[in-house]
Chain A
Amino acid sequence: MNELEVDPDQLREQVRDKYREVAVDPHRTFHFHVGRVNAARLGYETQAVDALPDRAVESFAGVGNPFSLRRLQPGERVVDVGAGAGFDSFVAADQVGDTGRVVGVDMTPEMLKKSRATADELGYAHVEFREGLAESLPVEDGWADAVISNGVINLCADKKAVFDEIRRVLKPGGWLQFADIANGRPVPPEALRDIDLWTG
């Protein structure tokens, strides 16, 4: 193992297993909030959430609101890193409108199945979901006006690689707006090496 606290591949597999459960069985109990209750707790606009079908919201496991510090502008091109079942991608799609584009990227097939089904149901031709990793986004250089993410980067072992990749896909002057968790007290080294604690 290098300077990273955990093996990236092992962590990725555990994260994929956890969020597969969130995709297929969103009404069980997790160590975090999910669904419409979670969206309300995090201050999402009620009207935007109410307009979405359950499939788009029930597996939402975000930890904050990436739109709270900046609203996306009409026509912007957006990448959603770790899009899950697409909740934030659909909120973004409404903000950028038909002249914008949203590409949601996720590594969990069960999440992609839900997000793509919702895009079809809503008839959102300006939203697309691609399979990929935060460390190697399937997006061309300098494509995005904004990159959003919600509760994903903390689950990546190599955060520098993720931020480097986000910079690659952003245009100069582009915005990174994301939500994530941070700890106020230091976590002991032995806990950082305990992969089970990363995913709860």
Chain B
Amino acid sequence: MSWIRLVNYQLLQFSRSYRYFTPMALYLIVLIWIYSIIPNPVMSSYAATAIILYLISSWLGLNFYFVEPEVQQQLTIMHARSSIHYYWSRMLTAWITTIPLSLAAVYFPMIRGAFKRHVSIGESLFVLYGHLILALLGVVLAAFLYEWFGNRFISTIGGLLLLLTLSVCSSVIGEALPAWLRPLAWLLPPAGFVMERWNTVDTAVEGAGPLLWSTLYTLVAMAGTASFMRWHRK
């Protein structure tokens, strides 16, 4: 119950800040723009909306983390009596705010009939999962950088932009590295891998591999970020 109450409190706080408006509005505008031309290829269109959602989610996440003043964060942790619950709930709540965007990204083009071929419900759920995971990865990275740089907004933005750029270009970076250093590219957030794979396949099932890796990477990053936050604040 404490989880639900933490999420509820944070959602209400964020909704009253209106800091969600610009990133959300921008994403919806981008969606409308992408699907203004009909027909579109299915997987490469979804690859584009997923990677843009990844970027927008990190922005939304950062706005979310900056809403609750630091003093209040300490008080909320005291009332929650568990800093780890609090940190997990922060990332979870930030991710919840991105869910409407994932739904819009997957179902708006289907409803509009913007694709070259029919997309089954099963396939749409699979693609939705991909969007949700990349959105979660975006908010987790934002949480990590928010914690790393504290209240230094410009540094946090700069760090986030660098990390997002590196992750979107991860495979290009991997190829540019000498063979023995190439495994290092796997340490970068795997958003770029998902995008590239989805760009080259015709059906969602074929793009499952990078998605599994993204899921694993995101969950580990989430646990690591929550632990880092706890250690850093103490």
Chain A bound to chain B = no
The chain A residues found within 8 Å of chain B, CB to CB, are: none
